[in-house]
Amino acid sequence: MASMGSRIVSLLTTGKYAPVINFARRFSVSHQQWSRHSKVGFIGLGQMGGPMAVNLIQKGHSVVVYDLSSEATERLQDEGAEVAKSPAEVASKADRIISMLPNSEHVRTCYTADDGIFQSVQAGTLILDSSTIDPTVSKEMAGLAVKKGAVFMDAPVSGGVPAAKGGTLTFMVGGEEQEFEAARELLSAMGKNIVLCGRVGSGQAVKICNNMLLAITMIGVSETMNLGMRLGLDPKVMAGTINTATGRCWSSDTYNPVPGVLPNVPSSNDYQGGFLTALMLKDLGLAQNAATATNSPTPLGAVAHQIYKLMSNTYLSERDFSSVFRFLQEPHKKEDGN
């Protein structure tokens, strides 16, 4: 029997988009045409996109940026970026474009609106979308890109804000193998693990599976730490022991949800400055949609989805997703401090 991953990828690479993807396989843009000094467009300068764009500049790339937030664009302008007034203007000035947006509808708007990328994209442009969205939307955008003579690849990321700032992200890329080297060359300025997962949409498939697991492990670590603390254990001693034992995982040893256990993580900064609960809820929703479409049982993923849905009805919606620890400690609180 096919694995869940292979069934998801099969679902995403067949059907109504197959003719477009088959054409895309025949359409190739050699990465050698892109000079290191040609402009790179970057759209979406949030907590992840902003540091990613800064890393491009620091690695010597000429960057033109766009974001709805003038504060965000001003920060990048101070770093040396050129600021555009719309995604269309970015596309008119750059032959490589990276987008980092909150959800599927933001991506559709950014690419297809009257002032969107596809209004002025240049033939031969390489487009890398690092948003986490529905894989079918990635395939839809890839089809539209082909009609413009461009190449679209999905390239969602993992690693969180610290990795975005440090340039150590993992990129999960979906696209054609002959274009991957060009994508890897650019993405390496922002990450250290650049993985080709399959055709367009496959990067998104891997990402939503990864984030479902991340949510599950974060809830598990939060439950465990809360129980241990109520049993009188020191959280640092407990975390240190777990991190040398069989319960060790990223949610415990790198991103521990208990305030004060680790420095420089959101839990030690009142859960500010990380990956928002609302975004984790969105990703879990994408995973549940994929599970339904592929008839894949995901009981823990479904429970995680419900827990983050409850959290999103509280003040924790705009805090880092590791705030599930606080939610489990104080599930009755609807507002901060109340």
Q: Which of 6, 272, 22, 266 minimizes the C-alpha distance to 143?
A: 22
- Token pair for 201: 């949409």
Considering only the C-alpha atoms of the chain, give the largest distance between any 2 of them, rounded to a whole number of Å: 64
Token reading at 17? 């988009």
Query: Rounded to whole angstroms, how far apart are CA atoms 319 and 212?
Result: 18
Cα gap 65→115, rounded to integer Å? 14
Query: Which is catalytic among the residues 139, 148, 207, 282?
Result: 207
> Can 148 be counted among the known catalytic residues?
no
Give me the residue label for tokens 């990828």: 9
Sequence-distant (6+) residues with CB within 8 A of 241 are none
Sequence length of the chain is 338
CA 186, 189, 194, 200 torsion-angle sign = negative
DSSP 8-state assignment for residue 232: T
Active site residues: 207
